[in-house]
Amino acid sequence: MATLDRQDPEYLYVALVDATGPRRMEGVDFHTGTFPDGLSWKATVEAEAVLNAAVAMGPREAAAGALAVLAYVSWLRGQGTQADERLALAKACVPCHAHVRAVSAMIRATSVAVVAADLDLSGKPVKG
């Protein structure tokens, strides 16, 4: 959680890689939710469990970055309402957090993540 509390964009990028477990980085576009070779849905489930536990342990001021990544995971799954709710919680913690602004911009620019709209990739586990 301390890593996600650091507002350097590099920390958000590392968190998004960890939370999605892309099979290959070539062609991956986090801004549109594009994962040409698929992503690890298992990694998203594991990241969600860890981040939810971290948010529950607090402190509230440190939860904004974790909540932003949780919002991103919801968006990847096509759960726009949950993504918006998680972003609202993140903004309530730290209104101007860089990760909250970055994830919010991604979600607003592309209403449905490419991976969520792809019936061949959406919600299907990826082995490996």
Domains of the chain: total:
1
CA atoms within 13 A on the CB side of 85: 5
pLDDT computed for residue 126 by the predictor: 42
pLDDT computed for residue 60 by the predictor: 82
The C-alpha atoms of residue 127 and residue 110 are separated, in whole angstroms, by 27
Q: Is residue 123 part of a domain?
A: no
At residue 29, the 3 state secondary structure works out as strand
**Ordered mean pLDDT values, 10 residues apiece, the chain (128 residues):** 65 86 90 88 90 87 90 91 94 91 90 78 48
Q: What's the Cα-to-Cα distance from 16 to each of 22, 125, rounded to whole Å? A: 10, 17
20 phi and psi angles, rounded to 5 deg: -115, -25
By residue range, what is the domain housing residue 52?
Answer: 2-117
pLDDT computed for residue 3 by the predictor: 57
pLDDT computed for residue 123 by the predictor: 54
Q: Is residue 126 part of a domain?
A: no
Q: Is residue 128 part of a domain?
A: no
